[in-house]
């Protein structure tokens, strides 16, 4: 696939935050344990915000940042594993709330858990290549993970936060785009299943943290190497590697294994925790708004999550 790039970014988080000290009043844990094992200090938790409302706010900021006329959008994808409804999709609701329901946008959700943004970006790139009439797409990763978290389970409640991040993507013949995706077909290691017999209410998220950790520290370097091989680039050519923000130790392990240079493997996990499909675009938005990305910079995004899914992309800004 060739010729797509990102024209704008945006993000949104709930108003209410929950820091490690707040969590010590809820479960048997400590700021020291959470910080040393995960790098997380704070996360944002929804009280009134929904997956759609966060997505709308991030989407609106992204369109402003891109300077693209929203009427030119042909595609709207929301990556989420915590949708508000089975149907309509979050994407159709975002279309409505952005006032775009009078134009024929292809709108749908994608669920690849925490890899959702990488899958969504690949789907957007493929659709933009296949549909000449479709000039731009809005891709949003939006999650209210807190709605499926058991706040008496210290093994999971310390990790996750809510939020949304978004990008406008469009064709650009001078920019390369390379993607590698995969899934293991596992339904035990990291799950949030729909309970049977009680009206389809979701069960809490359950996770074997050690197994996910082992999976992550193998699959992240593997995925990065796969997109580098496919693109003919070396790690030295890459300005930023943006890993899914799941655990500081997981990012540090990949950075060390691949001998990343200082500042190349960027992080913001301390402030937001693991926001699943939103974590990568929130960090991309921070870099963009801080003026830290220049046209032509090569960027690798890499994610992993429930499924077990994984994926990486390399693109040029
Ligand atoms: O998007 C993907 C989502 N998931 C992930 O990325 C998860 C990946 N895994 C991890 O990040 C880590 O495995 C965790 C942070 C979840 C756990 O860290 P760990 O170093 O693997 O700890 P552990 O599960 O091996 O537990 C070590 C000890 C246990 O006590 P014992 O058995 O040694 O007495 C746990 O009960 O730490 C205990 N523990 C805690 N202690 C204080 C587990 N959670 C906590 C806690 N506070 N919150």
User: Residue 127 and residue 138: Cα distance in Å, rounded?
Assistant: 12
- Can you name the CATH fold of 177-316? Peroxisomal Thiolase; Chain A, domain 1 (3.40.47)
pLDDT score of 197: 62
Per-residue pLDDT tens digits for 271-282: 999 999 999 999
- Check residue 198 and give its pLDDT: 62
Please identify which of the residues 65, 111, 114, 243 carries the catalytic annotation: 114
CA nearest ligand 1 atom 29, residue? 155
Is 20 a residue of the active site? no
pLDDT computed for residue 3 by the predictor: 78
**Are the beta carbons of 115 and 307 closer than 8 angstroms?**
yes
Q: Evaluate: CB of 275 within 6 angstroms of ligand 1.
A: no
Q: Is 288 helix (H, G, I), strand (E, B) or coil?
A: helix
Q: Positive or negative, the Cα torsion across 281, 287, 293, 295?
A: positive
Output the CATH code of domain 4-171.
3.40.47.10
**pLDDT for the residue 146:** 97
Residue 166 pLDDT level (bands cut at 50, 70, 90): very high
Please provide the average confidence, as pLDDT, over all residues in the chain: 95
Assess whether pLDDT exceeds 80 at residue 202.
no
What CA–CA distances, in Å, run from 88 to 44, 95, 166, 218?
26, 11, 20, 37
CA gap 225, 202 in Å, rounded:
36
Is the C-beta atom of 32 inside 6 A of ligand 1? no
Residue ranges covered by each domain of the chain = 4-171, 177-316
How many CB atoms lie under 10 A from the CB of residue 98? 18
Q: Which residues are CB-neighbours of 138 under 8 A, at least 6 positions away?
A: 59, 62, 63, 73, 75, 76, 77, 94, 166, 167, 168, 169
Does 199 have pLDDT greater than 80? no
d(CA 299, CA 176): 11
Q: Same CATH topology for 4-171 and 177-316?
A: yes
Q: What is the pLDDT of residue 165?
A: 98
Summarised one tens digit per residue, pLDDT across range 24-51 is 999 999 999 999 999 999 999 999 999 9
Reported as a pLDDT band with limits 50, 70 and 90, residue 288 is very high
């Amino acid at each position: 696939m060739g010729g797509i790039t990102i024209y704008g970014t945006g993000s949104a988080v709930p108003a209410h935050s929950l820091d490690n000290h707040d969590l010590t009043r809820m479960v048997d844990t400590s700021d020291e344990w959470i910080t040393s094992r995960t790098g997380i200090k704070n996360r944002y938790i929804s009280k009134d915000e929904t997956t759609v409302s966060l997505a709308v706010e991030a989407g609106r900021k992204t369109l402003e940042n891109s300077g693209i006329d929203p009427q030119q959008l042909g595609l709207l994808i929301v990556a989420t594993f915590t949708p508000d409804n089975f149907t309509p999709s979050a994407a159709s609701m975002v279309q409505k709330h952005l006032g775009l329901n009078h134009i024929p946008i292809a709108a749908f959700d994608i669920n690849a858990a925490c890899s959702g943004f990488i899958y969504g970006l690949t789907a957007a790139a493929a659709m933009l290549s296949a549909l000449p009439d479709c000039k731009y797409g809005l891709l949003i990763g939006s999650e209210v993970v807190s709605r499926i978290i058991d706040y008496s389970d210290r093994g999971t409640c310390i990790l996750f936060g809510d939020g949304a991040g978004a990008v406008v993507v469009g064709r650009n013949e001078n920019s390369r785009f390379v993607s590698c995706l995969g899934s293991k077909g596992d339904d035990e290691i990291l799950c949030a299943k729909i309970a049977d017999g009680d009206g389809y209410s979701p069960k809490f998220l359950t996770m074997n943290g050690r197994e996910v950790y082992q999976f992550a520290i193998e699959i992240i370097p593997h995925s990065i190497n796969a997109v580098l091989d496919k693109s003919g680039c070396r790690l030295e050519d890459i300005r930023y590697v943006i890993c899914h923000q799941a655990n500081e130790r997981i990012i540090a392990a990949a950075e060390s294994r691949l001998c990343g240079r200082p500042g190349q493997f960027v992080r913001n996990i301390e402030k937001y925790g693991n926001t699943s499909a939103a974590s990568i675009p929130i960090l991309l938005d921070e870099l963009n708004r801080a003026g830290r990305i220049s046209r032509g910079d090569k960027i690798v995004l890499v994610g992993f999550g429930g499924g077990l899914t994984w994926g990486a992309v390399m693109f040029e800004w």
